[in-house]
Amino acid sequence: MYSGVRKLFFTDCRCAEDDIKTYQELFAKLDTNKDGVVDVSELKEGLDAMGIKTGRGEAQEIISSGDDNKDDGLNFNEFSKYLMDHEKKLLLTFKSLDKNNDGQIDYMEIKQSLADLGMNISEEDANKILQSIDVNGTMTVDWNEFRQHFLFNPATSLQEIIRYWKHSTVLDIGDSLTIPDEFTEEEKTTGLWWRQLAAGGMAGAVSRTGTAPLDRMKVFMQVHSSKSNKISLVGGFKQMLKEGGVTSLWRGNGVNVLKIAPETAIKFMAYEQYKKLLSSEPGKIQTHERFMAGSLAGATAQTAIYPMEVMKTRLTLRKTGQYSGMFDCAKKILKREGVKAFYKGYVPNILGIIPYAGIDLAVYESLKNFWLSKYAKDTANPGVLVLLGCGTISSTCGQLASYPLALIRTRMQAQASLEGSEQQPMGRMVKNVLEKEGFFGLYRGILPNFMKVIPAVSISYVVYEYTRSALGIQK
């Protein structure tokens, strides 16, 4: 499978002199134009020739990690320093995975390591991951095999690759009903968790702003569209542009962005507490416990920031001159309708968390397991497109399940601001929608909602990656 150079390179060296000699020989092989510097193209071509496949952007990431003098290449000192530093990290990771300290990693140790990260997989899937690293077919991985697999992979550990598969809320589609992010003890102690949350918040803010016109159209159709008053996508946009101009398409976006930070912080803190209360074993959490803790954390966060949800709906539907801003909106709602108005639609909103989060998680886990069982032959790293696809499909399925409750919530939030609108409780409103508009009346506005999913996911992912880099978080 690997050339003689690779075997030479991965011989278990016992002393620094042997390491330096090995690094020199490898460097000479990679430096094809003999200018004393290995650039991205030389590294990629050289590794490909040795049978070491690098993913998109990974060669550049290796160069960037070791390039101290910023000349877009690695001289020998930088090259050897990068390999030495990388090996140290890999050895620490190998020891943490080798639970029984026998110098070998087996599939049960991989399974246990994933469980420690809050991710439960089958023995079959653990074997698939093991096979992607195992060179000699013994169904165990020793230090040399582990080093072979990861030394020219910019990920410093198996955990980093597995973290790809954790269902992350980074893919922001504007809904707040997802299970919170899971962070390892290492991420918590090093402070990486808050930087990841900050990157996710920035991604969500840009994503929601980019798709705000479609979000406003969704709310507009949820409230105003009916069998007798059919509103098309084009017709709805024409109405909004005629009434308030281009800037009116972003009404309600300000509060929609502002609520990201408090909701994320409350959800994260509540999730950590609920996990401690619900987990059967300290430091470990099963899938059903994670779902319960996540749902309760979501409900806690929604309860705290729900008045902002009501204001977002009112500001989104407002006519020109109705409110001068968020504070004016809050003041007028309080004066005319009282404190209770800030919790209209609360019950269907909280009920929507369960089908959304449950189906979202279940579909994501199913898609993940399908990919691992069918395609994880050479690597356990699925790649960006697979992850985006899994996240988009699972979120869309979650939306389908919870959308009727979201529609009822929005109508209840808006009804007091509509002239001649009768104040109806949830049960009667559902009954009226079914009687007057049929079952599909519960899905008014779902077209613009679906239309915003792919651009929202794409924008949030790109912004998240750039923000992570700016905050000093390795990919």
Per-residue model confidence as pLDDT tens digits over 369-403: 777 667 755 555 666 777 788 888 888 888 899 99
- Residue 142: its pLDDT value, please? 87
Q: How many CA atoms lie within 13 A of 2 on its CB side?
A: 18
**3-state percent helix, strand, coil for the chain, nearest multiple of 5:** 70, 0, 30
CATH numbers and ranges of domains, the chain = 4-152 (1.10.238.10), 185-470 (1.50.40.10)
| Spatial separation of the C-alpha atoms in residues 252 and 104, rounded to whole Å | 56
Lowest mean pLDDT among 81-95, 109-123, 201-215, 412-426: 109-123
Return the ∠ at Cα 409 (arms to 209 and 170), rounded to 5°.
Answer: 40
pLDDT in tens, 297-324: 889 999 999 999 999 999 999 988 888 8
Return mean pLDDT, the chain.
81
Q: 435-448: string of b/e by CB count within 10 Å (b at 16+)?
A: eebeeebbbbbbeb
| Spatial separation of the C-alpha atoms in residues 304 and 259, rounded to whole Å | 10
pLDDT in tens, 138-160: 888 888 888 777 777 655 455 55
- Residue 161: its pLDDT value, please? 54
The verdict on pTM exceeding 0.85 is: no
Return the ∠ at Cα 182 (arms to 450 and 383), rounded to 5°.
Answer: 60
For residue 315, which of 236, 253, 263 has the smallest C-alpha distance?
Answer: 253
pLDDT higher at 272 or 55: 272
Give the CA radius of gyration of the chain.
26
Percentage of the chain surpassing pLDDT 90? 23
What lies within 8 Å, CB to CB, of 299 at 6+ separation is 350, 353
- Residue 217: its pLDDT value, please? 94
Lowest mean pLDDT among 108-117, 262-271, 396-405, 464-473: 108-117
